[in-house]
Structure 1
Amino acid sequence: MRGGPRDRLLEAAKRLTYSEGPGIGVDALLKEAQVARRSLYEHFGGKDGLLLEVIRQAATEDAEWMRATLEAGGRDPRKRLLGVFDALDRVVTQPGFRGCRYLGADLGLADAGHPIHQATSAYRRRVRAMVQHELVELGHPWPRRAAEQLQLLIEGVLATGAASTVAHPGRVARALAEAVLDQAG
């Protein structure tokens, strides 16, 4: 692990909260990052600030992944959207896949007022806006509703990929997404 204490804390927290969940102890984070407790408080104000920054950084990276995945589908909005499910299937079938970081954070932090819930909600709104944009381009008659349906499928792939015996949840969800897109006529 390289970098200064802040970077090492972020790297350790990103890895450990994904593999162990947001309930990971401060001592384990400090040990993994090889930093003193003081560094955690100086850079993040505590564990909650560190977890929030992990979610913010992950959301930026994941939104970029979504944008790049959509762009890989060329100009056809239908192909772009269906390509998301193909890409998700590749992600969730990789060894070590542990599910959706955002769902894990939401479920692991029961306090509804925790700032992480605001960050995970903001990320979901961002994804839904990208999907809705594609649906508008497709000429879908109900882009908002269809975006909600596709987002549910996206999140379902991520949850199912971590906790189910479905071999290729992205493929299953893709077939359902085709039915949503077919409403565009």
Structure 2
Amino acid sequence: MTTRAMPGPRDRLLAAAKDLTYSQGVGVGVDALLKAANVARRSLYEHFGGKDGLIAEVLRLTADEDVAAYRRVMEAAGDDPRRRLPAIFDWLGEVIDAPDFRGCRYLGADLALADPDHPAHAVARRYREGLHELLERELRDLDHPQPADAADQLLLLIDGVLAVGATRPETHPAAAARRLAEPIWS
């Protein structure tokens, strides 16, 4: 007979924070996080130093997952950057159509956290830098004359898709952004 080990308090806090900070925003209360994780307040402070540390760690973990998702989408589209870059926008259209889509967790955190020194801002910045790097590498493979500038443009469109997708999905922002981005890879 095997027994399943229940995840420890740290993992339960991360799982609860990942779900609740996305569905309710980073302003979700500590009590709600503790209740969802079924942990004592002490665990939050022992593992993360407080709610700010927990939010930053959740963003760090999801950033790695999210950049990997962009990479998988591009890899699934083949070797040609002219197919790989548009695939991002096609996939984002599917992401927006998901019933639990609430927008970009990094943009949401940046907007909700007024303290410019909150550790989540640095994590969100690193996420965008990682995504920018992925896009720029693709554009270099395409021999784009200004890959860094073009990656800036694509990142702006991606941010816009995720923001508009949360507020006005019926406008099909991913398809519109794909059309706007087409000159970048054509």
Assess same fold via TM > 0.5.
yes
Deviation at 1:153, TM superposition (A): 0.6
**Alignment partners' CA distance in 2, 1:85 and 1:113:** 32
**Alignment partners' CA distance in 1, 2:97 and 2:143:** 32
Letter matched to residue 46 of structure 1 = G
Let me know the Cα RMSD of the aligned residues.
1.0
Identity %: 58
Q: 1:50 matched to which residue of 2?
A: 54
Unaligned 5+ runs, structure 2? 1-5
Deviation at 1:70, TM superposition (A): 1.1
Q: 2:152 matched to which residue of 1?
A: 148
Q: 1:21 matched to which residue of 2?
A: 25
Letter matched to residue 33 of structure 2 = L
Unaligned 5+ runs, structure 1? none
Letter matched to residue 183 of structure 2 = A
Q: 1:92 matched to which residue of 2?
A: 96
Q: 1:4 matched to which residue of 2?
A: 8
1:136 aligns with 2:154: no
**Alignment partners' CA distance in 1, 2:8 and 2:39:** 9
**Alignment partners' CA distance in 1, 2:173 and 2:97:** 9
**Alignment partners' CA distance in 2, 1:56 and 1:76:** 30
| Partner SS, residue 166 of structure 1 | helix
Letter matched to residue 151 of structure 1 = L
**Alignment partners' CA distance in 2, 1:51 and 1:111:** 13
Q: 1:117 matched to which residue of 2?
A: 121
**TM-score after normalising by structure 2:** 0.94
**TM-score after normalising by structure 1:** 0.95
**Alignment partners' CA distance in 1, 2:131 and 2:163:** 16
Matched-pair contact (CA < 8 Å) for 1:160–1:166: no
Matched-pair contact (CA < 8 Å) for 1:146–1:180: yes
Moved over 3 A (4+): none
Deviation at 1:165, TM superposition (A): 4.6
**Alignment partners' CA distance in 2, 1:138 and 1:114:** 37
1:80 aligns with 2:84: yes
